[in-house]
Amino acid sequence: MEKENQKPMIKGIIITVLSLLLLIAIPFITGIVSERESFQREVKNEVTSKWGNEQTIYGPFIYVEYKKTYVQKDNTIVERTVPSLTSPQSQNITGKVETQIKKRSLYEVTLYNTNLNVDASFISLDKIAEKLKLDSKDQFTTAKIVFAISDSRGFTEQININGNPSNFFEQDNEISTKSSLNLLSFDIKESTIDLSKISFPLHLKGSTELKFLATAKENKVKLNTTYQDIKYIGSYLPDSESEKMTLSNPTWTIFQSFPFEANINNLESLETFEFGLKFLQMNDFYSKVNRATKYALLFIGLTFATFFFMENLKNLQINILHYALVGLALCINFVLLLSFAEYVGFSYAYLISATATITLITSFLYGLSKNKRIALTIMGLLSLLYTFLFFLLQLKEAALIVGSIGLFAILAILMYFSKRITFSK
């Protein structure tokens, strides 16, 4: 009799071990997710390589070079060329960002065209020379306005300065730099251009992200976009934003009280000055499927617990093999979720995979018990479980508190029903 009463405990231990063994399949499932994500990245790279990648606008700046003599330890005099980069006193960028969705195979990529106008105000070359402790601007061997973007394939037309077709930016191969950026420049050494009023249009193509640098003392960027799903990125938030992150006219007003320090070689490392927009793809189902697999133990454990309690409370006979088959069905549920999500999105895929899995398990249990009431009870419990997990997957900041409260309630229910099972005398 004592052995009979200990059977539930022994079977419970075996089921627990089986649950842990089934988790071996989860790394294979996450491997499939990673493989599909790599396909998505390949498609994205293929599309953006022909259009334009994420764009960051570097500048404009004034770049100067001058000669400086140094006395070495052996008293020999060496003359070297010293470069210097000056940011504008104020910078104002305004314009439109028009987006389009490019679909390739199963995947979508957000592309954009910009129609921007850049206004910048610099100090004069005389003041730059004074700042560098030079006698006059005549000591400059080079003086240029320079700027760059992340991907030079994004340029769509010639960039004229102050509306003058004779004054335009062109690619500069003379400036020695370790940067991988393709610099565009305009030589101001011999020109009479007013550096306090520099203006030029900027028409760019790019994808996914558009960023700027807050390198001037006073920075203002005002954009207009019709894209609905925007994330603000970088070190600065816009002046105001809507609750739903669908602001169509984001504006940044940034004042820098400290001087900007950089050289022509480290423009790409100015992450602390970056800010801008990221155009989100709301059907990024791979991250949600990955999150779902992290709850695999919860899926399997709670389903097995439901079966275990129903078996002992209703005097059913469910073999360990049957538990293993149900566990495999739960694992295949994640593969179904992934495969359907690529076609119909995560929410519909979850509904399809959950319905298929619940129906399969319920009909399987009904075939074992021949009891419609027990089968319907299992269906109801599994439906509640999958609904709870679905809402848990949709949450972000509140996922922890909702999940912990839900798990506490489930544990309380299991503890209540466990009192009705006799494990030993």
- Please name the helix (run of DSSP H) or strand (run of DSSP E) that holds residue 367, with its range, or none: helix 346-369
Left if phi > 0, otherwise alpha if psi is -120 to 50, otherwise beta: which for 315?
left
Of residues 286 and 354, more confidently modeled: 354
* pLDDT value at residue 252: 92
Per-residue pLDDT for 422 more than 70?
no
Q: How confident is the model at residue 261 (pLDDT cuts 50, 70, 90)?
A: low
> CB pairs under 8 A, 24+ apart, for 237-242?
237/275
* pLDDT value at residue 120: 93
| 34 closest CA partner among 375, 293, 208, 318 | 293
How much is the average pLDDT of 254-271? 73
How much is the average pLDDT of 379-388? 84
Structure tokens, 333: 């549920």
* pLDDT value at residue 394: 74
Q: How confident is the model at residue 170 (pLDDT cuts 50, 70, 90)?
A: confident
Q: How far is Cα 293 from Cα 254, in angstroms, rounded to an integer?
A: 42
SS (H, E, C) 292-328: HHHCHHHHHHHHHHHHHHHHHHCCCCCCHHHHHHHHH
How much is the average pLDDT of 390-411? 72
Per-residue pLDDT for 20 more than 80?
no
Pair type for strands 209-213 and 274-279: antiparallel
Straight-line distance from the first to the last Cα atom of the chain, in angstroms, rounded to the nearest whole number? 9
Q: What is the largest CA-CA distance in the chain?
A: 106
* pLDDT value at residue 256: 80
* pLDDT value at residue 352: 92
> pTM (2 decimals)?
0.69
* pLDDT value at residue 241: 55
* pLDDT value at residue 419: 63
* pLDDT value at residue 1: 42
Q: What is the CA radius of gyration of the chain?
A: 32
* pLDDT value at residue 38: 76
For the stretch 207-249, pLDDT in tens is 888 999 988 889 999 999 888 778 888 888 888 654 444 457 8
Distances (CA, A) of 327 to 9, 25, 403: 20, 10, 22
* pLDDT value at residue 253: 92
Give the strands of the sheet with 90-104, arranged side by side. 198-207, 107-121, 90-104, 218-225, 251-255
Of residues 411 and 213, more confidently modeled: 213
How much is the average pLDDT of 168-187? 79
Q: How far is Cα 366 from Cα 383, in angstroms, rounded to an integer?
A: 16
The mean pLDDT value of the chain amounts to 80
Cα 403–405–406 angle (5° rounding)?
Answer: 65
Structure tokens, 137: 């601007």
Q: Where are the domains of the chain?
A: 2-38+285-418, 54-279
* pLDDT value at residue 346: 83
Q: How far is Cα 173 from Cα 183, in angstroms, rounded to an integer?
A: 8
* pLDDT value at residue 314: 65
Per-residue pLDDT for 313 more than 70?
no
User: Helices marked H in 90-215 — which ranges?
Assistant: 125-131
For the stretch 182-194, pLDDT in tens is 788 898 876 778 8
Share of the chain above pLDDT 70, in %: 85
Share of the chain above pLDDT 90, in %: 10
Of residues 319 and 114, more confidently modeled: 114
* pLDDT value at residue 288: 79
Per-residue pLDDT for 268 more than 90?
no
